[in-house]
Homo-oligomer: A and B are copies of this chain.
Amino acid sequence: IPKPSHKVRRDVQRFDLNKVTITNDPVGNKEKILILTPMARFYQEYWDNLVKLNYPHELITLGFILPKSKEGNAATTALQAQITKTQKGARPFRKVIIERQDFEPPLASQDESERHKLANQKDRRAAMSKARNSLLFTTLGPDTSWVLWLDADIVETPPTLIQDLASHNKDLIVPNCFQRYTDDSGKLAERAYDFNSWQDSNTAQELAATMGPEDLLLEGYEELPTYRTLMAYMELEDMNDVRAEVPLDGVGGTALLVKADVHRDGAMFPPFPFYHLIETEGFAKMARRLGWHATGLPNYKVYHYNE
């Protein structure tokens, strides 16, 4: 029997980008999600939280990029062990891609105090941008509907994270990233962690106008008071309305859901000052230049590891 001439060849793939839906009901529409994580250290709590996400795992592809450092090697080994276990289990992910970076991280130390020094920010965030771009450009598919950026030290989110964020049907949407800690009296408490999600201010705009083209307007540094409105500190009328939305100009990337079309149009993480912004904050600006809008959810919280 001769093969039918219309047989689909495995080496030829056709995609109609029109037919890749991006809706507020991604489960109902079987929309594919790509979860991207740059990872310098492996935390078991991150993995356990990831595995508990109740979006259908068969629709989720995971992408990781890890540095070629001693710490990165250790993280890769630990990550690999968990992946093997999960993929053999009852709810394997659709696909997992692990990449090792081909450049060195600019800082020898990943400790929080060192990472957060203003003088270290430009190089560090440029390197982070390149790691994010490398991961994004090599894992995004024509059939991806959403990209969830999730840092490797996000250790607690609602299991419905993806559905909750997607239900707002926004171009870019970012929850509020907090951190749990024990206060002086020994009581469990929480505090804001990520200050990269903000609404712009006139002061910041005026400061930017006086800056040289290579200068960055970073957030969260006393040396550079911007008077931007930070999502971390927003006081809303109803602090219990987890669906409350605010428009944003800058976003953090600890947890960030993006419509894949935003990236496909070309929005990436600028490793150079872009309107005096870099990395995830520069990404929000670039998305804006492409006609897309960022939204924040001040009352919807995710939690960062506490070193």
Q: Could you write out 12 A-B pairs with CB less than 8 Å apart?
A: A11-B87, A15-B98, A16-B102, A99-B142, A133-B266, A137-B264, A137-B266, A138-B140, A139-B142, A265-B271, A266-B270, A268-B268
Q: Quick check: A16 and B265 within 8 Å, CB to CB?
A: no
CB-CB under 8 A from A5, the residues of chain B are: 84
CB-CB under 8 A from A263, the residues of chain B are: 137
Q: Interface-forming stretch among A43-51, A88-96, A200-208, A231-239?
A: A88-96
Q: Copy number of this protein in the oligomer?
A: 2
Contact of A266 among B87, B101, B129, B139 (CB under 8 A): B129
* Residue of A92, A144, A268 with most partner-chain B CB within 10 A: A268
CB-CB under 8 A from A11, the residues of chain B are: 87, 92-96
Complex-state Cα separation, A68 to B16, whole angstroms: 9
> A289 within 8 Å of B by Cβ?
yes
Which parts of A62-81 form the interface with B (CB within 8 Å)? 68
Which parts of A9-34 form the interface with B (CB within 8 Å)? 9, 11-18, 20
> A146 within 8 Å of B by Cβ?
no
Complex-state Cα separation, A8 to B134, whole angstroms: 24
Complex-state Cα separation, A303 to B12, whole angstroms: 28
* Residue of A84, A95, A265 with most partner-chain B CB within 10 A: A265
CB distance from A290 to the nearest CB of B (A): 6
CB distance from A288 to the nearest CB of B (A): 10
Q: How many residues of A contact B (CB 8 A)?
A: 50
CB-CB under 8 A from A266, the residues of chain B are: 129-130, 133, 137, 268-271
CB distance from A5 to the nearest CB of B (A): 8
Complex-state Cα separation, A83 to B266, whole angstroms: 28
Contact with B along A90-130 (1 / 0, CB 8 A): 00111111111110000000000000000000000000011
Complex-state Cα separation, A254 to B134, whole angstroms: 25
> A248 within 8 Å of B by Cβ?
no
> A261 within 8 Å of B by Cβ?
yes
> A272 within 8 Å of B by Cβ?
yes
Q: Quick check: B12 and A130 within 8 Å, CB to CB?
A: no
Complex-state Cα separation, A142 to B137, whole angstroms: 8
> A136 within 8 Å of B by Cβ?
yes
Complex-state Cα separation, A84 to B261, whole angstroms: 29
Contact of A98 among B13, B97, B134, B268 (CB under 8 A): B13
CB-CB under 8 A from A270, the residues of chain B are: 266
Q: Quick check: B100 and A138 within 8 Å, CB to CB?
A: no
Q: Quick check: B13 and A265 within 8 Å, CB to CB?
A: no
Contact of A17 among B12, B134, B136 (CB under 8 A): B134
Contact with B along A261-291 (1 / 0, CB 8 A): 1011110111110000000000000000110
- Beyond the given A133-B265, A139-B142, could you list 10 further A-B residue pairs with CB under 8 A, ordered by the A residue number? A12-B98, A13-B96, A15-B97, A16-B102, A97-B142, A134-B264, A137-B137, A137-B266, A138-B142, A266-B269
